[in-house]
Structure 1
Amino acid sequence: MSALRTLAFLALVASSSQASDCSYVGLLAHLNLASTNDLLATMRPVKVWTTPTLVHLDMLLYGILEVDEKSQTVTSQIWVQMFWTNEFLTWNSTDFCGINMLTVPRTRLWIPDIEIQEDTSDAGSIHKSAVVKLYPNGSMFATTRERLTSTCQMDLLLFPFDTQECNITFSSMTSDENTVQLESRKRGTALTEVSDHLMVTKGEWELQNMRIILRNVTKASKSKLIYKVSISRKPMLYVINLIVPLLFFLVLDLASFSISEARGEKLSFKVTILLSISFMLLILQDILPSTEANMPMIAKYCLFIFTVVGLSVLEAMLVGYLYDLDGCCYKTAQSPADAQEDIQLEVDNQKEPAGAEGIPDKSSLPLDGPVDGDLLKLILQEVKAARQEVDEHKDQRKTGRYRRAAVIIDRVFFFFYFLATGVFVSFMNTLWVSHIYNK
């Protein structure tokens, strides 16, 4: 009986002493973390060295800040969560008054050296949590927030209706596949929904989906976790600033065929349109990268409009030249003898009759008959008018061929111009619209 009392007393003392140690300090001392432990900070936390450390990594996308097509980079805000197990840091939560989570400074523990291969941002943009969460079963949780600038091979064929797929590859810089293995706790669809809900800024881009690919590189023996992030561009700004103005310039150039060549405004109007298209091409050059392998459709669109408008300017110059040539031929068609005769008629028309001795006395003329000088003037005017009418018909038959050739060239060029423009614009519209509906 006394033995039972002794055991009960010892149990009460033990329970009271255990209850008095319900603090994080006692737990840190139990885990040998009260002071710096170089072994826990440098060595991979496994009891058997052949056991690989499984690291679960989830990435959330908080914002798409900038996409630079010239440098082929994407700047985004990401949040990375890492989970792994430390086999040496376990405890029974009931022994420490139910403590089921402990925060430990990052510098005192071994952290997987996971890096992003496409990362081109500076070290100042990476913000790692100062502490790591530790759970009774040895599970550890660390977070990293980063303003990531990553390289991305972009396909700008359908710009500005394009969708880009960029890879964000996580891998260990020093550990091979037998040491550290990477996986994801959540699926890509779940991460896409969470990212889209938490995203603060998107700019001109919209998140489509995130796919996760596990890949083991045989040559380097490294485990890789690849996030394929698909983003689509919002094209309305480029439609308003580039596509619609270029189409409007093309319509204006077609409408300029209705301007008469005699007014002299057609050529200057077409040159103004050509200069405006050149300015639009300079704007496009600042956006798209310099590449010849895969020319974007909008570059072909601009090049086609620039080419047809340039040909239209040349055609307007040719037609204007033919009109001027026809006018020159009309002026030189009159012979010097005809011109001299016209001058003589003008002089004779304005001459006064001879002296009084050549003119009969007015008393001998009929009272109502016309004077001889006035009659001569009337006859000369009728003869000159008839001759001018005959000369005009003759000159039109001789010199109108250049004007007729100019009219034929203008009509034929307008027909092919309108046909080529309609076919090309319809093709571009079909291609872009079909891509939009297939997204």
Structure 2
Amino acid sequence: MKGGCSTRRGLSLCLTVSLLLQGRSDAFTINCSGFDQHGVDPAAFQAVFDRKAFRPVISFSIPTHVNLSFTLSAILEVDAQLQLLTSFLWINLIWDNPFISWNPEECVSINKLTVSAKNLWLPDIFIMESMEMSQAPPDLIAYVSSEGRIRYDRPARVTSICNLDIFYFLFDQQNCTFTFSSFLYTVDSMVLGMNKEVWEITETSRHIIQTQREWELLGINKATPKMSVGSNVYDQIMFYVAIRRRPRLYVINLLVPSSFLVAIDALSFYLPAESETCVPFKITLLLGYNVFLLMMNDLLPSSGTPLIGVYFALCLSLMVLSLLETIFITYLLHLATTWPPPMPRWLHSLLLHCASPTKCCPTVPQKGNTGPGLTPAHLPGLKEPLELVGKVPGSQEAEVNGCPGPTRAGQGDEAQKQCLVSLWVQFSHVMDTLVFRLYLLFMATSIITVIVLWNT
């Protein structure tokens, strides 16, 4: 050792190495003389600053214990199409540097100092799910205590991969993962720990999170698995962050207008089926609903098939069904007023089952009695029997339709005509009632589903 330190340059190197290789003794105690007159002397920390490229340990067989925690202060964006979560974190790291120590009594009661982080060794802790470089501001400050404990806080805008499930959008919950690990140091060189309990991290994040009231933090859990890459084993800490979307904005902008349009379409069933404005009214509602969907398209996820998309598709289908049913009923009424065709036996039986009438038509037509159905005067456009052209259905067709055979030529034909008109009008009313009840069932089911999803 003496021969190697004969020259002046070798002597300086030997003194530096001997100081660094000693145990945690007074040789590592920082000289505080002059702090009370001239402030902190940078030269007192120069030996520590010169070692910033090396892991601060006395023996490299001893791993560095780094305790970490974070605060989730904001959820900036949730991109369901790219499966990305953009959040803002405050990451806190704590470790010990055995080459830093001083006596507070000799250093004018200084227990903690702030040191520029670029002068210190920093652990290479990163988030494995991150998809972009850290955007932390330069020239951050670290806190150094008199025992050599270093506390380093840095902000980070993190865009991380997250498996997003948007089926229950706008009542969805997402579970994302933040995995903290070292990029270079294995478990032989660095061990990760926690400087806060998970419940403390959760409560702190809930109090300061700012998300434009779109997302709320449900909870944070952790796991400490090891990651093996070939023969190397790395320590890591995984945090499972559960968040839930606040649906109020989407309920007001999506569900409420859609429900209003569907309710108006359902109320349109109270319009007379013979009215000429019924079909144009339903067409206007259908066009308005399509315009509404185009305007609200930006609020819906651009990928996947969310439940609300299925709801909108069902609403649109019901409105189209309502329009088709109105057109069909209008056609039936027009057919009934011009030339009512014979009603098939199966349809007549189904109509009897649905309507359960006591009598379809009078068995013996009498003067002044035209049966329980609508009279020709009740239907617009119905011509007088003498003006009708065509063949009157015979006795066999009348029996199939549940109407009496002709007793007398004039009265029998008129009674059969009125009976067929009554049957087709009754069938139209049954169809109208059926679709209307389908509408009510769908609306009740939708309301109950929204209430259950909102409460859970």
Take 1:249 and 1:312, find their aligned partners in 2: how far apart are those partners? 13
Over 3 Å counting, the alpha-carbon distance change for 1:328 and 1:297 in structure 2 is same
1:180 matched to 2:190 = yes
Contact preservation (8 Å) 1:183, 1:214: no
Select the residue among 272, 278, 286 that pairs with 2:284.
Answer: 272
1:243 corresponds in structure 2 to 255
Is the partner of 2:126 in helix, strand or coil? strand
Indicate how the Cα distance of structure 1 residues 144 and 391 shifts in structure 2: closer, same or farther if over 3 A, else same: farther
CA distance in structure 1 between the aligned counterparts of 2:389 and 2:196, rounded to whole angstroms: 103
Residue by residue, what CA displacement relative to the aligned partner does 1:328-358 show, whole Å, maximum 9, x if unpaired?
43569756999xxxxxxxxxxxxxxxxxxxx
Q: Give the partner amino acid of 1:64.
A: I
Alpha-carbon contact 1:45-1:88 (below 8 Å) kept = yes
Q: SS of 2:176's equivalent? A: strand
User: Structure 1: how far apart are the matches of 2:90 and 2:32?
Assistant: 40
CA distance, structure 2, for counterparts of residue 421 and residue 178 of structure 1: 68
TM-score (norm 1): 0.71
Deviation of 1:264 after TM superposition, in Å, equals 1.2
What SS class does the counterpart of residue 126 from structure 1 fall into? coil
Query: Is 1:117 aligned to 2:128, yes or no?
Result: yes
Does the CA-based 8 Å contact 2:282-2:323 persist in structure 1? yes
- 1:32 paired residue among 26, 30, 46: 46
Q: Residues 3-41 of structure 1, C-alpha deviation per residue, up to 9 Å, x if partnerless?
A: xxxxxxxxxxxxxx975465787764344348x52xx22
The answer for the alignment partner of 2:455 in structure 1 is: 437
- Aligned residue runs from structure 1 range 322-337, under 5 A: 322-329=332-339, 334=386
- Shift of residue 256, structure 1, vs aligned partner: 1.3
Query: CA, structure 1 residues 197+74, in 2 after alignment: closer, same or farther (shift >3 Å)?
Result: same
User: Where do residues 290-305 of structure 1 align in structure 2 (5 Å cutoff)?
Assistant: 290-292=302-304, 295-305=305-315
- Confirm whether residue 94 of structure 1 aligns to residue 105 of structure 2: yes
1:55 corresponds to which of 42, 66, 79? 66
Match status 1:254 vs 2:273? no
Q: CA, structure 1 residues 421+131, in 2 after alignment: closer, same or farther (shift >3 Å)?
A: same
Deviates more, 1:238-247 or 1:327-336: 327-336
Counterparts of 2:385 and 2:192, CA distance in 1: 93
Structure 2 gaps of 5+ residues are: 1-30, 340-381, 391-408
Distance 1:281 1:419, change over 3 A: same
Distance 1:429 1:176, change over 3 A: farther
Q: What is the Cα deviation at residue 72 of structure 1? A: 3.3
Paired residue for 1:310, among 320, 335, 351?
Answer: 320
Q: Tell me if the contact between 1:45 and 1:110 (Cα under 8 Å) persists in the aligned partners.
A: yes
Question: Gaps (5+ residues) in structure 1?
Answer: 1-16, 339-389
How much has 1:407 moved relative to structure 2? 4.2
Shift of 1:107: 2.1
For the 8 Å contact 1:58–1:184, the answer to whether it is kept is: yes
TM-score norm. by structure 2 comes to 0.69
Higher relative contact order (CA 8 A, sep 6+): 1
Letter in 1 for 2:163: Q
Matched pairs, number: 364
CA distance in 1, matches of 2:105, 2:389: 130
The whole-number CA distance in structure 1 between the counterparts of 2:167 and 2:109 is 60
Q: Secondary structure at the match of 2:224?
A: strand
| Alignment RMSD (CA, Å) | 3.4
1:5 is aligned to none
Q: Percent identity?
A: 28
Q: Residue 73 of structure 1: CA displacement?
A: 3.1
Determine whether 1:282 maps to 2:294. yes
Q: Counting helix residues as a fraction of each chain, which structure ranks higher?
A: 1
Q: Write the distance in 1 (CA, Å) between the matches of 2:32 and 2:310.
A: 79
Residue 308 of structure 1 and its aligned partner are, at CA, apart by 1.6
The corresponding residue for 2:374 is none
Residue 111 of structure 1 deviates from its aligned partner by 0.7
For residues 141-197 of structure 1, give each alpha carbon's deviation from its aligned partner in whole angstroms, at most 9, with x where no partner exists: 111113333333222233222222222222222223332222221122212222233
Q: Please state how far the C-alpha of 1:275 moved relative to its aligned partner.
A: 2.2
Report 1:371-390 matches (<5 A).
none
Say if 2:90 is the partner of 1:79.
Answer: yes
- Judging changes above 3 Å, is the alpha-carbon distance between structure 1 residues 418 and 322 closer, same or farther for their aligned structure 2 residues? closer
Larger radius of gyration: 1
Deviation string 1:285-320 (CA, Å, 9 cap, x unpaired) is 43333445xx32222221221112211111111112
How far is 1:140 from its partner? Answer: 0.8
Equivalent residue letter for 2:252: I
Q: 1:69 aligns with which of 72, 80, 100?
A: 80
Contact 2:80 2:302 in 1 (8 A): no
Distance of aligned partners of 1:333 and 1:129 in 2 relative to their CA distance in 1, 3 Å threshold:
farther
Taking the aligned partners of 1:252 and 1:93, their CA distance within structure 2 comes to 78
The residue aligned with 1:364 is none
Tell me by how many angstroms 1:425 deviates.
4.0
The answer to whether residue 242 in structure 2 is matched with residue 230 in structure 1 is yes
Query: Is the CA contact (8 Å cut-off) linking 2:116 and 2:139 kept in structure 1?
Result: no
